[in-house]
């Protein structure tokens, strides 16, 4: 598909970005709605956010990514005070003794696709057109920067009570483990600034064009909805996606555990899938889609999205309710995740599944050939 | 044994008498400003014309869009105090943050944020601050506000802070009514808070309306129980509605769709319900209204109620036609004043109904004043109305399947015989489909309590809850073989020992008899 390059993020761009972010959120990462409102407030008072191509940065520029860490179900209830992420950025700048040139989004899905825009607007810094995942993933080491050897630390975590904590762990997985414990203590969610990088490091490590991509996906969904067409068909065509299953939600089993929203969702087939069932497992994001007899239909790191059957609106795991009519939509992940190192970070074994990763195109040959 | 179904719309009050599956009579009367006399009028009509003895009526079911209309039209809403227990969290997006300005103004836009709220695991974000709440209560009192909406962070997991704060504030505001968000909503603080604030702003209107309906029934010696229908087509007691008017929000479209399905026997169709002020377009899937999967806006305010997927446009029989080039139909409507203000009844306002009457499509009132506008102009307006209807129905049509369109409601005379290539069915009693939908309102059985999963599995707990809810529905008069699961949800309560989980489950069945 042709992606229109974003140059500025204005007030009325936020609806598309939030919608595209919800789509790439693969069920997790939280509803970008709250981040959208925060970004809209900040843009309304401080003006539009400039979007930079990473090549426009000096090699010694300082880039600071910001995000929300924790269970998205928590953020749906306990909204931020508002300045936690800015406090985290300031604390990290103080620690490093250097000012940031640009803000970065490590996760182009869910709430974390919009929170960095709010921070960029409030601090009047530009945002880089890119991200570290090409989607949403549940853990902080699951980013392209880890693949390129960029350290997550020093990292700052901040909460609404005014606590801010600087972490210096030995590697990115350890950073995740320590930070996760702290998010639980912070009430299940905290705002973070991490992976401080130079322009040179960013150029070799980030996935490019993600802000423009989510904006375009949002535009497609809105325009297809306005034309009364289900966006899933056009998205499948434009993004090489696959409509894996159509059905009605039969059961949702979820719990907030270890700083994550975990659970599973069972869907009973409708239309072409009548008589069969599919189960989606999630840890914040959807990880595995499998049929009732245990045959996988999609495996992490490939993307599994849940869309409303009629409107194509993305549905997050915390929004799923009994009786919803949905499409399970699958999408191949960024190719770097399919490498050996990529699968070690985000493949099924990491999440505790005794399952070999198989690309979604191979698992669904019949649909792909259509 | 007979049942009466009543629909109090913005324009008309309709009534039907049903005996089993048979509709004995359906009548329309104008809705009156006091609600009561319109209800009395239609009740008198149906009883008089059928000669049925009041004592043989076993139940009266009432559907009303009164509260939705109040929100949509921003009228009769009381000044409301929104109090959020959250500090120091949740300051970034204050109450009513994403509301349209006009409704924020209509409820006064007053909010306070105070200490309190819980973490997901039950810990306190901060303890309640009694002095702070007294001060807020005093400010609310000074402003003369007597309806308060309280919303605490994570109150669906732990509602004690909301209850305690209400107790503290009640001492300073003895005459105020309190709406606790935990009693009407689910997780998602902005949506739940929105619902609580709207509910609070409707409490005065609901006390008045429900009281008026009760008195109306009493005044004509109808002493049987009466119910009011809610969003999902089930019935609520009058007392319950007084406290939770917000739960009636989507009952209008639900009643009209269930009524249309009942009247035509069609299970899969698009339903167009044209009232006096607005047109609702919905879809029936296997006999039930298709639910909306995402958040639903009511009057521009985001909520997370379980609601039917409905697309509404401001077009109705009473829609005011204005201007020359361009001509506009709606959004303003003369509503129930069509009987005084419409040209066809000797008034001076050109309405959508006048256009239909002037073209000879409908035969009510006096067509002459409309005819004076000339055939060309009438046809131009009619084409505009047709286009609005086609666009709305296309929006709800999601497949190329040749499903029928069911046209119901008093204003459905505006709907042509075919819409966007689909055949339109106008069933007998089409104009009172809402009242029929209310009369076939279902009985529900609900369970909402905490289960310990220490010694039973989650599946066993859900099964127990389902059996309990089914038992309650049968006890309340539901026919056992008609009972179906409508909704189930479990919220794990990480803060309680023994793997506790809150299960909310609802079953529905048809009223026996």
ipTM of the complex: 0.86
Rounded Cα distance between B513 and B509, Å, is 12
Mean pLDDT for B251-256 is 88
Residues spanned by CATH 3.40.1610.10 within chain A? Answer: 8-210
When scoring B85, B89, B154 by the number of chain A Cβ atoms within 10 A, the one with the most, hence best to mutate, is: B89
- For residue B481, the tally of other CB atoms under 10 A from its CB is 7
CB < 8 Å to A78, chain B:
86, 89-90, 117, 119-120, 125, 153-154, 189
Q: CA nearest B255: which of B238, B232, B237, B236?
A: B232
**pLDDT over 80 at B503, yes or no:** yes
Give the angle subtended at the CA of A242 by the CAs of A236 and A246, to the nearest 5°. 105
**Nearest residue in A to B193, CA atom:** A77
Paired sense of beta strands A127-128 and A49-52, if any: parallel
Q: Which helix (H) or strand (E) holds A53?
A: none
Q: B74-106: per-residue pLDDT in tens?
A: 888 999 999 999 999 999 999 999 999 999 999
Helices and strands per DSSP (H, E), number in chain A: 13, 18
Residues B508/B484, Cβ–Cβ less than 8 Å: yes
- Please list, in sequence order, all residues whose beta carbon lies within 8 angstroms of the beta carbon of residue A185, skipping any fewer than 6 positions away: none
Q: What is the CATH number of domain A8-210?
A: 3.40.1610.10
Rounded Cα distance between B444 and B466, Å, is 12
Q: A348-363: per-residue pLDDT in tens?
A: 999 989 999 999 999 9
> What pLDDT, on a 0 to 100 scale, did the predictor assign at position B75?
85
Rounded Cα distance between A281 and A351, Å, is 11
Q: Kindly report the nearest CA distance between residue A325 and chain B, in angstroms.
A: 7
Mean pLDDT for B62-69 is 86
Q: At the fourth CATH level, which superfamily is domain A229-369?
A: CV3147-like (2.40.390.10)
Mean pLDDT for B351-366 is 89
**pLDDT over 60 at A369, yes or no:** no
CB < 8 Å to A76, chain B:
187-189
Q: CA nearest A147: which of A333, A5, A364, A360?
A: A333
Burial annotation A202-232 (CB, 10 A radius, 16+ → b, else e): bbebbbbbbbbbbbbbbbbbeebbeeeebbb
> What pLDDT, on a 0 to 100 scale, did the predictor assign at position B398?
63
Rounded Cα distance between A129 and A219, Å, is 17
With a pLDDT cut of 70, the percent of chain B lying above it is 97
Rounded Cα distance between B129 and B132, Å, is 5
CB-based contact A313 B92, cutoff 8 Å: no
Residues B117/B147, Cβ–Cβ less than 8 Å: no
Q: A270-314: per-residue pLDDT in tens?
A: 888 988 999 999 988 999 999 999 999 999 999 999 998 878 889
Facing B120 at nearest CB: one of A71, A319, A325: A71
**pLDDT over 90 at B109, yes or no:** yes
Mean pLDDT for A34-42 is 93
Burial annotation B352-372 (CB, 10 A radius, 16+ → b, else e): bbbbbbbbebbeebebebbbe
Mean pLDDT for A39-54 is 95
> What pLDDT, on a 0 to 100 scale, did the predictor assign at position A366?
76
CB < 8 Å to B488, chain A:
251, 322
> What pLDDT, on a 0 to 100 scale, did the predictor assign at position B497?
58
CB-based contact A81 B90, cutoff 8 Å: yes
Paired sense of beta strands B110-115 and B81-87, if any: parallel
Residues A106/A112, Cβ–Cβ less than 8 Å: yes
**pLDDT over 90 at A66, yes or no:** yes
CB-based contact A160 B97, cutoff 8 Å: no
Q: B161-197: per-residue pLDDT in tens?
A: 999 999 999 999 999 999 999 888 778 899 999 999 9
**Nearest residue in A to B291, CA atom:** A324
Q: Kindly report the nearest CA distance between residue B488 and chain A, in angstroms.
A: 6
Mean pLDDT for B115-141 is 94
Residues spanned by CATH 2.40.390.10 within chain A? Answer: 229-369
The average confidence (pLDDT) of chain B is 88
Torsional sign, CA A336, A342, A348, A354: positive
Rounded Cα distance between A321 and A51, Å, is 37
**Nearest residue in B to A250, CA atom:** B488
Residues B85/B152, Cβ–Cβ less than 8 Å: yes
Facing B294 at nearest CB: one of A81, A315, A323: A315
Q: B437-451: per-residue pLDDT in tens?
A: 999 988 888 887 778
């Amino acid at each position: 598909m042709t992606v229109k390059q974003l140059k500025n993020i204005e007030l009325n761009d936020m609806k598309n970005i939030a919608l595209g972010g919800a789509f790439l959120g693969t069920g997790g990462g939280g509803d970008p709605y709250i981040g959208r409102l925060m970004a809209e407030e900040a843009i309304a008072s401080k003006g539009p956010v400039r979007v930079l191509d990473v090549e426009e940065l000096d090699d010694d520029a300082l880039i600071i990514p910001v995000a929300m860490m924790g269970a998205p179900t928590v953020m749906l209830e306990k909204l931020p005070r508002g300045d936690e992420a800015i406090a985290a950025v300031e604390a990290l700048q103080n620690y490093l003794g250097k000012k940031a040139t640009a803000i970065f989004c490590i996760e182009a899905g869910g709430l974390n696709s919009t929170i960095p825009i709010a921070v960029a607007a409030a601090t009047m810094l530009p945002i880089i057109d890119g991200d570290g995942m090409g989607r949403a993933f549940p853990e902080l080491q699951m980013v392209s920067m880890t693949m390129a050897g960029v350290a997550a630390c020093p990292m700052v975590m901040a909460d609404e009570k005014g606590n801010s904590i600087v972490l210096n762990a030995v590697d990115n997985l350890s950073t995740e483990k320590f930070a996760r414990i702290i998010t639980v203590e912070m009430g299940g969610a905290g705002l973070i600034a991490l992976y401080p990088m130079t322009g040179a490091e960013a150029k070799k490590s980030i996935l490019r064009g993600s802000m423009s991509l989510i904006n375009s996906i949002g535009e497609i969904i809105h325009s297809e909805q306005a034309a009364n067409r289900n966006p899933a068909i056009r998205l499948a065509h434009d993004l090489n996606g696959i409509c894996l299953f159509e059905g009605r939600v039969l059961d949702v089993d979820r719990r907030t555990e270890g700083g994550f929203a975990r659970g599973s969702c069972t869907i009973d087939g409708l239309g072409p899938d009548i008589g069969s069932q599919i189960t989606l497992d999630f840890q914040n994001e959807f990880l595995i889609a499998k049929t009732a007899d245990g045959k996988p239909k999609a495996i992490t790191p490939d993307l599994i999205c849940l869309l409303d059957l009629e409107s194509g609106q993305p549905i997050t795991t915390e929004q799923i309710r009994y009786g919803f009519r949905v499409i399970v939509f699958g999408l191949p992940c960024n190719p770097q995740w399919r490498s050996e190192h990529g699968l070690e970070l985000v493949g099924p074994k990491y999440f505790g599944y005794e399952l070999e990763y198989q690309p979604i195109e191979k698992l669904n040959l019949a649909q792909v050939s259509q | 044994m007979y049942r009466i179904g009543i629909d109090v719309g913005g324009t008309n009050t309709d009534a039907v008498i049903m005996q089993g599956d048979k509709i004995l009579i359906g009548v329309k009367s104008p809705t009156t400003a006091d609600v009561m006399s319109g209800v009395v009028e239609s009740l008198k009509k149906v009883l008089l014309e059928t000669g049925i003895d009041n004592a043989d009526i076993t139940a009266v079911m009432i559907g009303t869009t009164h509260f939705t209309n109040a929100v949509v039209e921003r009228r009769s809403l009381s000044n409301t105090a929104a109090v959020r227990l959250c500090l120091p969290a949740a300051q970034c997006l204050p109450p009513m943050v994403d509301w349209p300005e006009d409704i924020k103004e209509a409820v006064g836009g007053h909010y306070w944020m105070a200490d309190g709220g819980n973490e997901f695991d039950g810990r306190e974000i901060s303890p309640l601050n009694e002095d702070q709440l007294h001060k807020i209560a005093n400010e609310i009192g000074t402003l003369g506000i007597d309806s308060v909406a309280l919303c605490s962070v994570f109150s669906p997991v732990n509602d004690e802070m909301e209850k305690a704060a209400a107790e503290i504030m009640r001492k300073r505001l003895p005459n105020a009514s309190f709406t606790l968000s935990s009693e009407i909503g689910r997780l998602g603080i902005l949506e739940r808070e929105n619902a609580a604030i709207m509910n609070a702003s409707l409490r005065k209107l609901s006390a008045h309306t429900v009281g008026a309906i009760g008195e109306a029934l009493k005044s004509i010696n109808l002493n049987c129980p009466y119910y009011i229908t809610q969003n999902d087509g089930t019935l609520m007691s009058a007392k319950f509605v007084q406290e939770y008017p917000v739960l009636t929000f989507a009952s209008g479209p639900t009643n009209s769709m269930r009524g249309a399905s009942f009247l035509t026997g069609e299970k899969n169709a698009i339903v167009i319900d044209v009232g006096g002020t607005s047109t609702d377009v919905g879809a029936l899937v296997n006999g039930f209204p298709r639910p909306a999967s995402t958040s639903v806006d009511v009057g521009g305010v985001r909520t997370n109620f379980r609601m039917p997927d409905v697309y509404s446009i401001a077009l109705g029989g009473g829609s005011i036609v204005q201007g020359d080039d361009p001509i506009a139909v709606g959004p303003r409507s003369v509503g129930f004043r069509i009987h005084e203000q419409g040209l066809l009844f000797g008034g001076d306002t050109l309405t959508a109904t006048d256009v239909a009457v002037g073209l000879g499509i409908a035969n009510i009132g006096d067509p002459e004043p409309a005819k004076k506008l000339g055939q060309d102009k009438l046809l131009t307006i009619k084409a505009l109305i047709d286009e609005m209807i086609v666009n709305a129905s296309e929006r709800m049509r999601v497949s190329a399947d040749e499903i029928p369109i069911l046209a119901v409601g008093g204003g459905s005379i505006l709907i042509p015989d075919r819409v966007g290539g689909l055949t339109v069915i106008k069933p007998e009693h089409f104009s009172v489909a809402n009242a029929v939908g209310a009369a076939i309102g279902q009985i529900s059985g609900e369970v909402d309590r905490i289960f310990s999963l220490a010694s039973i599995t989650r599946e066993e707990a859900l099964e127990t809850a389902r059996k309990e809810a089914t038992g309650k529905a049968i006890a309340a008069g539901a026919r056992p073989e008609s009972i179906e699961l409508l909704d189930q949800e479990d919220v794990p309560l990480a803060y309680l020992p023994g793997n506790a989980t809150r299960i909310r489950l609802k079953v529905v069945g048809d009223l026996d008899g």
